[in-house]
Chain A
Amino acid sequence: MTDIPVGLETLRFVFAGHRPTGVFAPVLVGVVGSGNLEVLLEPREGSGCELHIETSARGFGSIWEAVARDFHERHQLAGIRVSVNDMGATPAVVSLRLDQAVTELVL
């Protein structure tokens, strides 16, 4: 019986942002290892805050949404794309990594 994996889950959330980030050099934190993730921050046209997630941990859409909303609540960033490659990190680690990325953002 074959069990070729079905692939990654892709999730996307966009929020109305408030604090403009302006132009900045992309920021990368984290590593795509087991239970870990990498986060890439880039400037984005417009005033939205977009989170784009690719994860090997399928079926946790609502948890990702909650984490994304909480992240946006904390930072309210505008004009930014947050891209994530995730390999099964816990919500706590995800939030930590997202905040870590923002800390490295020189605004």
Chain B
Amino acid sequence: MNRRTTISFAECTARERLALLVDANSFHEWLPPAQRVTSTHLAQLGVPSAFDDGVAIGHAQLAGRTVFIAAQEGEFMGGGVGEVHGAKLVGMLRRAITGTERPHAVLILAESGGVRLHEANAGLIAVSEVMRALLDVRSAGIRVVVLIGGSNGCFGGMGIVARCADWVVMSDTGRLAMSGPEVIEASHGVQEYDSRDRALVWRTSGGKHRWICGDCDVLVEDDVMAFREAAIAAISPDGDSSQPRPATLITLESLEQEHALLTARLALLPDHVVGDEAVALWKLYGLGNAGDVAEMNVESLLTQRPTGSQI
């Protein structure tokens, strides 16, 4: 089998990921860096701005299909969503519905700590505007795919936004959660969550765990081409249809199903299990070799059939 060279998705900048994910040279950026659409809130705190306020947005081709795409730069302010950053995402999402060209799908390469704390209130409102706009896109029948693989993970309000999408792709390097381990440790102590225990952090929020539980739909290796293939698969309809693969509509039925799944999960892990809760949960999801998950590569793990997506 031909083993091509992998390019680490985690080690790429947002722009590098974007450029490599879409069809070559097909990315057209809206509000590019030269337009200097930047935050006005940072300089007063002695923090430099970024010309694109940490997110690149635009349209591109993916396997010949038009998509709208955004890539968050995790190295700038932890990928935090500020007023301008959030508005760029909202603009892209709105344009998908109201613009002259309807994309096959909207892709978000998410790497973010959530609300940009340096913009506090403005960031909090911005995140919720992104969430509303994303749900509008789905309501209009356009698929939203979130791809998570940056080393900063996808946390906070963006962790909520990610789970509002139709489809989530993660690498084992990626993390998806709400509160960061440091914040939990600061709040309830190191016994509660040792933020420096990397293995624990990844058992709690990493791609493998999320895949086993069904919180991400696809698990890939930390490889840009693997993300590209997963993105293409995510937007491709079954068969030879040239029509876009529609969004999964959110209905009372679908939410009742989701509710049942999450309620069952809550009941699944007995309260008295402490310590190795992740491994216990994976066993309950049908993984006979749950204790080996941490050492398993993605390829091996994918041969397992966990029951996390079923009720």
Contacts and interface: CB of A to CB of B under 8 A. Distances in A.
Given A36-B75, A40-B33, A40-B34, A28 B46 contact: no
What's the dominant secondary structure at chain B's contact region?
loop
Contacts of B32: 26
B46 A32 contact: no
A7 interface: yes
B75 to A, nearest CB: 4
Nearest to A87: B48
Please classify how large the interface on chain B is, using the bins under 10, 10 to 19, 20 to 34, 35 or more.
Answer: 20 to 34
Contacts of A33: 75-76
A63 interface: no
B51 A38 contact: yes
Interface string B33-59: 110000000011111111110100000
B46 A6 contact: yes
B62 to A, nearest CB: 22
Q: Which of A40, A42, A54, A86 has the most CB of B within 10 A?
A: A40
Contact of B50 (A4, A5, A7, A85): A85
What's the dominant secondary structure at chain A's contact region?
loop
Contacts of B33: 26, 28, 38, 40
Interface of B: 13-15, 32-34, 43-52, 54, 73, 75-76
- The list of the 3 closest CB pairs from A to B, nearest first, reads A5-B46, A33-B75, A26-B34
Given A42-B34, A87-B48, 14 more contacts: A4-B44, A5-B46, A7-B43, A26-B32, A26-B33, A28-B33, A31-B13, A32-B50, A32-B54, A32-B75, A38-B33, A54-B48, A85-B51, A86-B48
